Amino acid sequence: MALTMAVLSLFVATSRWQPASAHVAHEEKGEPLEVSERLGSRVPLGLIFRDESGKAVRLGELISGPTVIIPGYYRCTNVCSFQQARMAETVGKLEKTPVRDYRIISISFDETEGAELASRSKKMHLTPLGEGFPPEGWRFLTGDAASIRPLLEAIGFGIRRQGGEFIHPVASIVVSGDGTIVRYLYGITILPKDLSLAIGEARSGIIGAPLRKMVDFCFTYDPAGRTYVFNLLRVSATVVIITLAAFMAFLLFGGKKRRKERPEA
């Protein structure tokens, strides 16, 4: 009964979740660009970028566990800024510890941008999170075309320059510690439960394996809605089977026990 009530409670909670919709930046200025998903592929960890201080950093030095990559550009005052602001709101609600459980990396695909803009953007979006959020938990990178292009190709992220701006999709890419792409999360707003489950998928090792199995069993990723959907039929069927099995075991073994305890006439 307790198990059944727990499942029903979970269903009630998940029934209020709304799917994250996909957005495309500057759609009115040209044909929208889409993401060509590369699930299972790896991002090139040897690429060199520059951090907020202008120091060269290898991508693999930052991706040591579940990591959310946000492609964009810092001069963008439209969708890119909103996307990162909403991400800050989302991570502020996560019951996970940055750096230890996950890391976020914003990467500019505009090779003309430098450390000054990256540092300004970092200050803008990390300040609302307070001193409890470590600076290492969210890095802001810039780079040259030699690093930007291979990364965008690896994640299937198309961009097109138009004047001083870019036409591009709006997506966050979740990778595991070895750079394997495990999930694309679309739109300006990403729900905390979607981000949390994607981070769980990206986790590796002994701790992550049971979590991944639980996620795969209880939730199904809906590519059309681009969100996780609670698999009510599968979980309900499992609960019914377990309940029936427990009831049959009770009748079988409970009946034998009562017969043994009954005094002979």
Residue 223 confidence (pLDDT): 56
Helix or strand or coil: residue 240? helix
CA 3 to CA 1: how far, in whole Å?
5
CA 103 to CA 65: how far, in whole Å?
7
pTM for the model stands at 0.69
In 3D, which of 173, 188, 183 has the Cα closest to residue 219?
A: 183
Residue 237 confidence (pLDDT): 65
Residue 227 confidence (pLDDT): 56
Please report the sign of the dihedral spanned by the C-alpha atoms of residue 49, residue 154, residue 165, residue 73: negative
Residue 164 confidence (pLDDT): 83
Q: Which residues of 33-70 are buried (b: 16+ CB within 10 A; e: fewer)?
A: bebebbeeeebebebebbbbeeeebebeebbebbbbbb
Residue 203 confidence (pLDDT): 87
Name every residue whose Cβ is closer than 8 Å to that of residue 43 and which is 6 or more positions away in sequence. 59, 63, 69, 151, 154, 155, 173, 175, 179, 181
Residue 224 confidence (pLDDT): 58
Residue 218 confidence (pLDDT): 63
The list of the chain residues with pLDDT below 50 reads 1-30, 205-212, 265
Other Cβ atoms less than 10 A from the Cβ of 183: the count is 22
Residue 77 confidence (pLDDT): 81
Residue 49 confidence (pLDDT): 98
Residue 34 confidence (pLDDT): 79
Structural domains in the chain, sorted by start: 20-217 (3.40.30.10)
Tokens of 218: 């209880």
In 3D, which of 255, 221, 220, 252 has the Cα closest to residue 234?
A: 220
Residue 181 confidence (pLDDT): 94
